[in-house]
Structure 1
Amino acid sequence: MLYALIMAGGKGTRLYPLSRSNNPKQFLKIINNKSFLRNTVDRIKPLVKQENIYVVTNKDYYEAILSELPEISRENIFVEPSNKETATCIGLSAVKLLKKDQDATMIVLPSDHYIDGKDAFLDTLNQGVDIVQRRRGLVTIGIEPTRPETGYGYIRLGERIGSRIPSYKVERFLEKPNLEVAKDLIIDGNYLWNSGMFIWRADVFLREMQKYLPKMHERLMNIYTKINTEDEKKVIEEEYELIEGISVDFGIMQKTRKAYVIKSNFIWDDIGSFEALSRFLANYRGNNVSGNAYMEQSQNCSVFGSKKLIIGFGVKDLVIVDSGDVILIMDKNKDQEMKYLVNKIKNDEKLSEYL
């Protein structure tokens, strides 16, 4: 049977201070009047039955998800005791779904993407499900690059397989490149952005984990034996203490020989940074602006205003964010260093209340 797994446990630190530990990015209503999480669920509903939509998160966001998604039952929210990267949260979800259904096929979706072109999106996922069933592979969705992006991973296309939407064996994954390498990848023409959306059978994914992350696999299978018993929660907490977290890209996708990629034709954005978010703001005198702002003799700034009037006079290449109790003023070139900044603030006890 087909299941959707939505990953909604991240803290969205790259959009701080709009995104906070108690109100992370997936709950923000920035682009339209619905949260990223709400949009993700609504987008997958035509393909996956509501009772087969699952969310994996951490304990801090459990109640918020119940409130945001009242139609999703409590049993469909998988709770991690701590964040241990994507391979772990997907692995935990895989063993839970496999316990429920030995033929479970998973569509794994981040909760914070922007997608335009719903029909094309669903067509792509349908083709991915077909590849998974016929080839028993691990399928990822690739996006044709439109610019030399340093914030995304890239996928090099291998042999094309016979599919209506262009689909390929994955030749290799390339992690976030510097600007010059990213420019070369665009010119090469054989690379796609790695969207972080995946499709696979739960049993196939776990077998690949057994090959490449055997210790994690052992911990998760210990959990598998206790699912639906009174010891389940306790064993999950114990095993999570022992798991060394790693991303699914580093841990499995870069190593497996079963990886396939579909070249999608819908519009996609990660919204993982202020630069990305700025693409959805209104243009105002050569700047990208939302909220209450006035810009004079200023250019290429991204301004996220609120109740206070933000005036930019004679400035350029800045990100300015008013989130009420925190005002951020940042060089645009520091956009990919927000996690570093948040960690520095976290280490200062006097500032921790602002996270």
Structure 2
Amino acid sequence: MDCVSELHDRERWGLILAGGEGVRLRPLTRVVCGDERPKQFCALLGRETLLEQTRRRAALVIPPGRVLVSLTRDHERFWSPLLGGMPAHCALVQPEGRGTTAAILHGLLRIAATAPMASVAVFPADHWVSDDRALMVHVLGAFSAVRARPELVVLLGVVPEDAETDYGWIEPGERVQGGTQLYRVRRFWEKPEPLLAEDLFGRGCLWNSFILVARVPALLALIRSAAPDLAAAFARVQPAIGTAGEAHALEALYATLTPLGFSERVLATRPANLAVLPVQGVAWSDWGQPARVLATLGRLGVRPDWVGRVVARSA
């Protein structure tokens, strides 16, 4: 696939979620970086941070000027040096972290102000994948699916390598009519016990990558249905989104918000238009714990300078 040739699809946008705290990986990132930065702002493999890797990956199929990055103001000292070449309109700075649902809703409203019928791919900023181009082929497949079926919200589910108990799992249902590789979502399983994880693995269930693709109207409708109070609160400030008054409006809004996780509050409702696209031939990890980072590095046969310091501290 020639990813560059796909850049001319003007309906295509991206939203990178980079506002998380990365608390579980903090024992490792503290050693690597010498400070309290979340993992997406840390260079764990090579010279690029996970956020920079995610931006580069998204740019394979989406022009950089249409890839928005959701950030929080209290992390500015960490993200500001990384985004010097990014157009100013691409930085979505939240006053504080209020969960992934608020971050996604903010991004959708910013996109809707310019391209209300756009398709958007949502990416976590802090995951590792083995093959950027292979992953983005699947993202393009999801874009094609929602172009043909605008009502769908398509999750990317990674074909698992083992019976992992610390990931969320997606149980596929029947095949979506007209979508050769798309399946309905029968159920989500969050961090299953070992015996259940073995069963899910054996039955062909998928790891939830939290990468999703949808038309803006479909994703907005999903959030309005699952989190109506949050959607109504954002609707009151929507006229300010994308204007000089946005920061002030968000300041007042976020002071009133209760954090809501997108998986727990929105996806768990399992709406009928939710589908999953299996991702094959790509190794993936959320790098949520030090052991998983070290396991990935071991499999790759690489040993960054910081590994010795981490191992010594854990001994």
> What is the TM-score with the length of structure 1 in the denominator?
0.78
Contact 1:17 1:328 in 2 (8 A): no
Higher normalized helix content (fraction of residues): 2
1:202 has 2:202 as partner: no
Superposed counterparts of 1:127-206, under 5 Å? 127-135=141-149, 136-161=151-176, 162-163=178-179, 166-189=181-204, 191-206=205-220
Percent same amino acid at aligned positions? 25
Aligned to 1:14: 24
1:213 has 2:205 as partner: no
Superposed counterparts of 1:166-315, under 5 Å? 166-189=181-204, 191-255=205-269, 256-265=271-280, 266-282=282-298, 291=305, 304-306=307-309
Q: Per the alignment, do residues 46 and 170 of structure 1 end up closer, same or farther by CA in structure 2, a change over 3 Å counting?
A: same
- Higher CA-based Rg: 1
- Equivalent-residue separation in structure 1 for 2:242 and 2:45 (angstroms): 39
Aligned to 2:14: 4
Structure 2 gap segments, 5+ residues each: 1-10
Contact 1:53 1:72 in 2 (8 A): no
Contact 1:11 1:19 in 2 (8 A): no
Count how many residue pairs are aligned between Structure 1 and Structure 2.
Answer: 296
Contact 2:27 2:290 in 1 (8 A): no
- Equivalent-residue separation in structure 1 for 2:18 and 2:38 (angstroms): 9
Give the deviation of 1:187 after TM superposition.
2.0
- Equivalent-residue separation in structure 2 for 1:280 and 1:228 (angstroms): 40
- Equivalent-residue separation in structure 1 for 2:290 and 2:28 (angstroms): 10
Higher normalized strand content (fraction of residues): 1
Give the deviation of 1:66 after TM superposition.
3.3
Contact 1:12 1:25 in 2 (8 A): yes
Give the deviation of 1:328 after TM superposition.
4.6
Give the deviation of 1:87 after TM superposition.
0.8
Give the deviation of 1:151 after TM superposition.
1.1
Contact 2:237 2:250 in 1 (8 A): yes
- Equivalent-residue separation in structure 1 for 2:305 and 2:77 (angstroms): 29
Give the deviation of 1:163 after TM superposition.
3.8
Contact 1:13 1:19 in 2 (8 A): no
Letter in 2 for 1:240: Y
Give the deviation of 1:280 after TM superposition.
2.6
Contact 2:16 2:122 in 1 (8 A): yes
Classify the secondary structure of the residue corresponding to 2:266: helix
Contact 1:94 1:202 in 2 (8 A): yes
Contact 1:62 1:77 in 2 (8 A): no
Higher relative contact order structure (alpha carbons within 8 Å, sequence separation ≥ 6): 2
Letter in 1 for 2:292: A
1:99 has 2:109 as partner: no
Contact 1:4 1:48 in 2 (8 A): yes
- Equivalent-residue separation in structure 2 for 1:22 and 1:74 (angstroms): 25
- Equivalent-residue separation in structure 1 for 2:62 and 2:276 (angstroms): 21
The superposition leaves residues 212-263 of structure 1 with CA deviations (integer Å, 9 ceiling, x where unpaired) of 1100000111121222444322221221122222111111112122111100
Contact 1:66 1:72 in 2 (8 A): no
Q: RMSD in angstroms over aligned alpha carbons?
A: 2.2
Contact 2:60 2:133 in 1 (8 A): no
Contact 2:74 2:96 in 1 (8 A): no
* Off by >6 Å, runs of 4+ in structure 1: none
Give the deviation of 1:88 after TM superposition.
1.0
- Equivalent-residue separation in structure 1 for 2:49 and 2:304 (angstroms): 17
- Equivalent-residue separation in structure 1 for 2:146 and 2:113 (angstroms): 19
- Equivalent-residue separation in structure 1 for 2:174 and 2:110 (angstroms): 34
Classify the secondary structure of the residue corresponding to 1:280: helix
Contact 1:139 1:198 in 2 (8 A): yes
- Equivalent-residue separation in structure 2 for 1:254 and 1:32 (angstroms): 36
